[in-house]
Chains A and B, each alone.
Chain A
Amino acid sequence: MHEYRQIFETINLGLVTLDRDLKVTGWNRWMELHSGISAADVVGCQVCETFPDLSRSSFLRIVKGVLSFGNYASYSQKLHKFLFPMRNPHGSHGQLPQMQQNCTVGPLRNEQREIVGVYITVQDVTDFVIYEEKLATMAKTDGLTGIYNRRYLDQRLQEELERSRRHGNSVSILLLDIDHFKKINDTYGHLSGDYALRGFAAELRKNLRSIDILGRYGGEEFCCILPETPLDQAHSLAERCRAQIAATPLCCIDRQLTVTASIGVAGQLPDDTADSLIRRADYALYQAKHLGRNRVCCLTAPREMVDA
C-alpha cells in the first residue's frame, strides 16, 4: 500500500476521491499544485462547496450514476472544457486562461463490494487543445496571405448555399483577379509578387464586412462569398473594392506598387450548385478581363453566358 501511496502522490495526473456525500477523502499533490488548495484544507469538505462550479448537473449526473451503477464514466474536455477550475499552467495562459481537462470517474468499493465512494482522475489536455486549434486554423488558412484557403472556401460555399435554400436569403460571390500579375513577378521578382498578393488580400479585407468570407482561390485569383447579399449589393461592394485597390499602392519590399483588379460577380439562382455559381462568376470575370480589365462585371442569368 505504501507504494500505491507514492504513486498516488507523484503521478502526473490529478487524483481525487469522494465519499457518498461528495466529501473529499483524497486529494493528491498534483491537485494541490494546480488548484493551490492543500489536501489538509480540502479533505473532509463537500467538493461542491469548495468548487461551486461542480454543482453543474452534468457532473452530479455522472457521480450519481457511478455511485449507483458502478460504471466507469468520462467527463470530456470536448463537451465540458474542464471539471475543476484551475489556472492553465502553460505558456499558453494568455490564450486559454483555464486548464483544459479530460476527466474520468469510477467507483470505489469496500470489502463487501459495496460502492462507498468515487475516484476522479484529472488529465491536463491544454496542450492538445492548443495544438488542435492551431491545426484547425492552419487547415483553413492560406499560408501566404493569411486569408482562407481554397478548401475552406469550397466547404463554406456549399454550406452557405444550403443555408440560403433554407432561409431564402441569397448568396452572391465575387471572383477577383489581379491584372497583369505575371508582370510584377517578371519585373520585380517573385518575392515582390508575394508581397503584392499579401497586400492585395489585406486591402480587400479592409473593404469587406465581417460576415464575408474571403479566400485565395488559386494563384492571383481570390474569391469572396457574400452571405445574405443580393446581386445589386454585391455589385456595389465589388465596385468599391475595385476602386479602393486601384487607388491604394501596395508596399512591396522597397517599392510601392499599384495594381488593379478585375472582378466577376454572380448571384445565386434557385437551382444553383456551388459549381454553377462559380462558373458564372468566372465567366463574368472573363468578361471583365476581355473588356479591358480594372472593372466589375456582373452576371445574373445563365443564358447570358455564351461559349467563350
Chain B
Amino acid sequence: MKDPARELTELEQDALQEIMNIGFGSAAADLAEIINLHVILSVPHIAVLESHEVINFINQEIPDTTDMSMITQFFSGKLNGGSFLVFPHGEGRKLLKIFDGEMSLIGDNYDIDLLEKETLVEIGNIIIGACVGKIAEMLGDVVTYAPPRFFGQDQIHETLHSVVQSSDSFAILFKTVFDFEQYNVSGYLFLVSQYSIMPWLKQAIAEFLGPHA
C-alpha cells in the first residue's frame, strides 16, 4: 500500500527537480567564479526509493566499485542525510594539477595514492558543500557538515550498505554526473536523505512553488 505522506506527488517531484536544476546551476557558477573550478553538473535524477532499492540503483549506475574512490560527507539541518561523491580510481590524480606550483612543497618521496585521496577530500568537500548548500538554501534551510571521509575500492559497497540500511527504510536519492572541464575528470554525486524529512520537504516545496501552486 502506498502511503501518500511517503510519496512525492508528480508536481512536487517536478518542483524538486527544478530546485535541483537551479541549485546545481548556481553551485557550478559559484565554483567557477569563487574558486575557479569549472564543473559541469548534469540534470539531476531524483527518486524516492526504499533502502534496498537505493543499493540496487547505485549498483546499476556503478556496477563495479572495485576501482572507485568515494568521498562521503554527512550534513544535518532540516535537510539531512549523506552525500557520496564517487570517482573512478585514478581520476583524482588528474586533480592534483589544481595544486600546480605548490607541489614543490611535497618533495619527491610521496605516495601518489595518498595524494589522490587527500586531493579528493579537499576538492570533493567543496563540491559537496556547494551543491548541498545551494539546495538547502533554496529550500530555506542552512545545513552543517560533518568532516569528509574517504573510502577506497572495496570499502565503498560496505559503507553504502551500512549508511542506507541504518537510515530509516526510505531514502530520497539525488544523482548527478559532474565533469571537471579543465581536468577531464568526471564522477557521480549521490545525495541520500531519510524519509523523516518528508513532511518538511513537502512544505518547503510548497513554499518554493508559492502562489503558482
Task: Name A residues whose Cβ lies closer than 8 Å to a Cβ of B.
Answer: 56-58, 61-62, 64-66, 68-76, 78-81, 104, 106, 109, 113
Contact = CB atoms under 8 A, between A and B. Distances in A.
A71 B115 contact: no
Contacts of B213: none
B106 interface: yes
B134 to A, nearest CB: 8
Given A69-B30, A71-B125, A72-B125, A58 B145 contact: no
A56 B142 contact: no
B106 A76 contact: no
Interface string B142-171: 111111100000000000000000000000
Nearest to B101: A57
B118 interface: yes
Most buried by B among A61, A71, A109: A71
A70 B126 contact: no
Most buried by A among B98, B122, B134, B146: B122
B129 A71 contact: yes
24 contacts: A57-B101, A58-B98, A61-B36, A61-B37, A65-B126, A69-B126, A69-B129, A70-B133, A70-B142, A70-B144, A70-B145, A71-B126, A71-B129, A71-B133, A72-B73, A72-B125, A72-B144, A72-B147, A73-B125, A74-B122, A75-B122, A76-B122, A79-B106, A80-B102
A65 B105 contact: no
Given A65-B130, A73-B122, A75-B122, A56 B145 contact: no
B180 to A, nearest CB: 14
Contact of A69 (B98, B99, B130, B147): B130
Given A56-B102, A61-B35, A79-B99, A74 B142 contact: no
B121 interface: yes
B125 A78 contact: no
Given A64-B34, A76-B122, 19 more contacts: A56-B102, A57-B102, A58-B99, A58-B122, A62-B126, A65-B35, A68-B130, A69-B30, A69-B129, A70-B142, A71-B130, A71-B133, A72-B73, A72-B125, A72-B147, A73-B125, A78-B117, A104-B147, A113-B142
A66 B144 CA distance: 11
A76 B147 CA distance: 12
Contacts, number: 83
Interface string B87-129: 0000000000011011001100000001101110110011011
Interface string B6-38: 000000000000000000000100100011110
Interface of B: prevailing SS: helix
A71 B27 CA distance: 13
A80 B102 CA distance: 8
Nearest to A112: B142
Contacts of A64: 34-35
Contacts of B36: 61
Interface in B69-99: 73, 98-99
Given A70-B133, A72-B145, A72-B148, A79 B119 contact: yes
Contacts of B125: 71-74
Contacts of B144: 70, 72
B129 A70 contact: yes
A304 B146 CA distance: 64
Given A64-B35, A79-B99, A113-B142, A73 B126 contact: yes
B105 to A, nearest CB: 5
A62 B73 CA distance: 16
A78 B148 contact: no
B78 to A, nearest CB: 12
Given A69-B129, A73-B122, A73-B125, A58 B142 contact: no
Contacts of A56: 102
A71 B30 contact: no
Nearest to A73: B125
Contacts of A65: 34-35, 126, 129-130
Nearest to A56: B102
B17 to A, nearest CB: 22
A88 B72 CA distance: 33
Contact of B118 (A68, A72, A73, A79): A79
4 tightest A-B CB contacts, nearest first? A71-B129, A69-B129, A72-B145, A65-B126
